[in-house]
Amino acid sequence: MRYRFFLFILLVGLYVIQPAKAQFSSSPKHEVRAMWLTTIGGIDWPRTSGQKAQKLELINTLDKLKAAGINTVLFQTRVRGTTMYPSKIEPWETCLTGTPGKNPGYDPLKLCIDLCHERGMECHAWVVTIPMGNWNKIGCKTLRQKHPNLVKRIGDDGFMDPENPQTGDYLLQICREIVDNYDIDGIHLDYIRYPETWPAKLKAKKTIQQRRNHITDIVRKISHQIKPRKPWIKFSCSPIGKYDNLRRYSAGGWNAHTAVSQDAQLWLKEGLMDELFPMMYFRDNNFFPFAIDWKENSNGRLVVPGLGIYFLDPKEGKWELDQVARQMNVCRQIGVGHCYFRSKFFTDNIKGIYDYARAFDATPALVPPMTWATNSVPSSPKTLSLDGTRLHWEGAHDDSGAPYLLYNVYASDTYPVDISKAENLVAVRQTKTSIHVPAHKYYAVTAMNRFGIESKSIQLRHRIDHPAPHRPAGPDQFFSEGNIFVLPSKENTLDAKYIIIETLQGQTITVIPYTKTIDVREIPNGIYQLRSLGRNGRNHRIGFLTIKRP
Per-residue pLDDT tens digits for 14-67: 444 344 344 566 789 999 999 999 999 999 999 999 999 999 999 999 999 999
Same domain, 398 and 453: yes
Same domain, 438 and 497: no
Same domain, 453 and 480: no
From 326, 360, 394, the end of a domain falls on 360
Residue 59 lies in a domain: yes
Q: Please give the single-letter amino acid code of residue 447.
A: A
Q: What percent of the chain has pLDDT over 70?
A: 90
Same domain, 490 and 445: no
Task: Count the domains in the chain.
Answer: 3
Q: What is the DSSP secondary structure assignment for residue 422, as one 8-state letter?
A: G
Q: Which of 423-432, 447-456, 535-544 bottoms out in mean pLDDT, i.e. has the lowest?
A: 535-544
Per-residue pLDDT of 246-295, as tens digits, reads 999 999 999 999 999 999 999 999 999 999 999 999 999 999 999 999 99
Q: Do the beta carbons of residue 9 and residue 307 sit within 8 Å?
A: no
pLDDT of residue 20: 38
In three-state secondary structure terms, 153 is strand
Same domain, 266 and 321: yes
Q: How far apart are CA 483 and CA 520, in angstroms?
A: 5
Q: How far apart are CA 230 and CA 405, in angstroms?
A: 15
Q: What is the DSSP secondary structure assignment for residue 118, as one 8-state letter?
A: H
In three-state secondary structure terms, 375 is coil
Same domain, 531 and 447: no
Residue 7 lies in a domain: yes
Q: Do the beta carbons of residue 442 and residue 463 sit within 8 Å?
A: yes
Q: How far apart are CA 405 and CA 414, in angstroms?
A: 27
Residue 365 lies in a domain: no
Provide the CATH number for the domain around residue 315.
3.20.20.80
From 360, 393, 417, the end of a domain falls on 360
Q: What percent of the chain has pLDDT over 90?
A: 76
Please give the residue range of the domain that contains residue 396.
382-459
pLDDT of residue 526: 80
Other beta carbons within 10 angstroms of residue 376's beta carbon come to: 13
Residue 98 lies in a domain: yes
Across the chain, mean pLDDT equals 90
Provide the CATH number for the domain around residue 516.
2.60.40
Is residue 537 exposed (0-12), middle (13-18) or buried (19+ Cβ within 10 Å)? exposed
Per-residue pLDDT of 442-478, as tens digits, reads 999 999 999 999 999 999 987 755 443 333 334 467 7
Same domain, 445 and 318: no
Same domain, 428 and 523: no
Same domain, 454 and 481: no
Same domain, 505 and 389: no
* Mean pLDDT across 526-531: 82
H or E segment to which residue 511 belongs = strand 508-513
Q: What is the DSSP secondary structure assignment for residue 119, as one 8-state letter?
A: T
Q: Do the beta carbons of residue 358 and residue 68 sit within 8 Å?
A: yes
Same domain, 121 and 238: yes
Residue 276 lies in a domain: yes
Kindly indicate the confidence band of residue 529, based on its pLDDT and cuts at 50, 70 and 90.
Answer: confident
pLDDT of residue 518: 81
Rounded to 10°, the helix 288-296/321-334 angle is 20
Same domain, 396 and 276: no
pLDDT of residue 479: 75
Query: 461 vs 183, 386, 396, 421, 458, CA distance in Å?
Result: 36, 11, 19, 19, 9
Residue 471 lies in a domain: no
Kindly indicate the confidence band of residue 3, based on its pLDDT and cuts at 50, 70 and 90.
Answer: very low
Residue 375 lies in a domain: no
Residue 367 lies in a domain: no
Q: How far apart are CA 278 and CA 270, in angstroms?
A: 18
